[in-house]
Amino acid sequence: MARKIGFYGVLAYVLYGLFFYWYLFHFADTSLQFEYEGSKADPATFLNGRELMLSEEYSKIRNLLFFLSTPFEWLFYLFILLLGFGNAFKKWAGQSTKFKLVQTAIYLFWLSLFAFLATTPISYISYALSKSYNISTQSFSSWMKDELIDFWVNFGMMIIIVGVLYWLINKSSKRWWLYAWLLSIPFTLFLMFLQPVIIDPLYNDFYPLKDKELEAKILALADKADIPAEHVFEVNMAEKTNALNAYVNGIGSNSRIVLWDTTLNRLNDEQILFIMAHEMAHYVEKHIYFGIAGYLLLSLVGLYLTARIMEYVIGRWGNVLKIPQVNDIRSLPLFLMILSMLLFISSPLSNFVSRYQELRADQFAIEMTRDTQAGIETFQELTRAGLSQVNPPLLVKIFRYGHPTMLERISMIEEFEINNKVKETK
């Protein structure tokens, strides 16, 4: 039975991969509709022939890697269960110590290590791809350092999460999912509070914006939007990437407005102010808090479904998967696999909500700055710097895009521009 499940798992993954290869490279049409040809959203008007070719090539390969990587994770957990690695990890943990919490940490270490070794090749391919297309400027040693930081940060958090999770499962086999969700609320808020000052600096250096004249303009814009900002931060990303970005993260007194130095190097002040107005919209419209609420709602549904699915799977195939019961630590790969599947399935919904919020932020930025030229040039430069597709395939948009497509963003500004001119002539 284990061989049969493993065979069908591999077969499903291969067929899934072939489908997305066919879809991305042979079926999906990324050309623009006739009415957009020659507009400011048409990449042929602001990218040269080589940039057009590279953006299509890079996007197709990157999208294929995205669609292959998540199901590969499911396949990894399935084979951990089928091949009995969970038994080996538990045995090694039991031989090392008698303390339950330390046993859990050791089990987690081995599971995390095997997952790291299994997924690193795909991560490296993604890194090498971005390097070959001149998106990444990061050295291999720097990339490997970030991967190892990821490993230890995730491992540290998993010790806490998994330790509490299985304690709850042992205490309440029926309602553990509800108690886990209730505890996740303060934990999520605590992590968001810590991220800007503890976690993010592990990867990059953050410091107050050096260009004080630009900072004054940004803070004046923040004051106009009634945002109590005192500092704008920049982060040294040029040693890692040529892509552009800016964001607001954190909550409460630890919230930050952050600009990548690549953005500062490639955009002029008007374009940067447009980006800042966009980011300020998230604060003004409380998108961060709506995002937290949405995440917590989805996690409640996700934990409930995970609990029910785990009970069913272990009840039916527990012997094959070598999981005696839900409260056994060997059920963790199954828990992670189901949760990952549910996150993937729910991503179209979360991306849809995110795209709506980003569109609102774009509209806010246009209304606030009234600088349509800066907005259009900013999105054109973002397309060039990231070799992005202006009009990505539908499935890519649904599963990958948390922002509107560049076609939608630039066209929205052009429409605003036209409507404004019509009003002025009346």
260, β-bridge pairs: 235
3-state helix, strand, coil in the chain (%, to 5): 75, 5, 20
Q: Could you tell me the CA-to-CA distances from 122 to 19, 27, 112, 145 in Å, in that order?
A: 19, 24, 16, 16
Q: What is the C-alpha R_g of the chain? A: 24
In angstroms, rounded to a whole number, what is the distance separating the alpha carbons of residues 245 and 236? 12
Pick from 115, 154, 175: nearest CA to 303: 175
- Between CA 205 and CA 214, with CA 208 as vertex, the angle to 5 degrees is 130
- Between CA 138 and CA 342, with CA 347 as vertex, the angle to 5 degrees is 110
In angstroms, rounded to a whole number, what is the distance separating the alpha carbons of residues 71 and 344? 9
In angstroms, rounded to a whole number, what is the distance separating the alpha carbons of residues 268 and 264? 7
Residue 77 backbone dihedrals phi, psi, to 5 degrees: -65, -35
In angstroms, rounded to a whole number, what is the distance separating the alpha carbons of residues 167 and 150? 25
| CB 408 within 8 Å of CB 362 | no
The amino acid occupying position 310 is M
Which tokens is 271 given?
């374009």
Q: Could you tell me the CA-to-CA distances from 350 to 128, 239, 252, 279, 291 in Å, in that order?
A: 29, 32, 24, 19, 9
In angstroms, rounded to a whole number, what is the distance separating the alpha carbons of residues 165 and 213? 50
**DSSP conformational letter for 237:** -
Pick from 389, 394, 393: nearest CA to 409: 389
Whether residue 279 lies in the annotated active site? yes
| CB 376 within 8 Å of CB 328 | no
Catalytic hit among 73, 215, 234, 279: 279
Which tokens is 26 given?
């042979």
Q: Which residues are catalytic?
A: 279
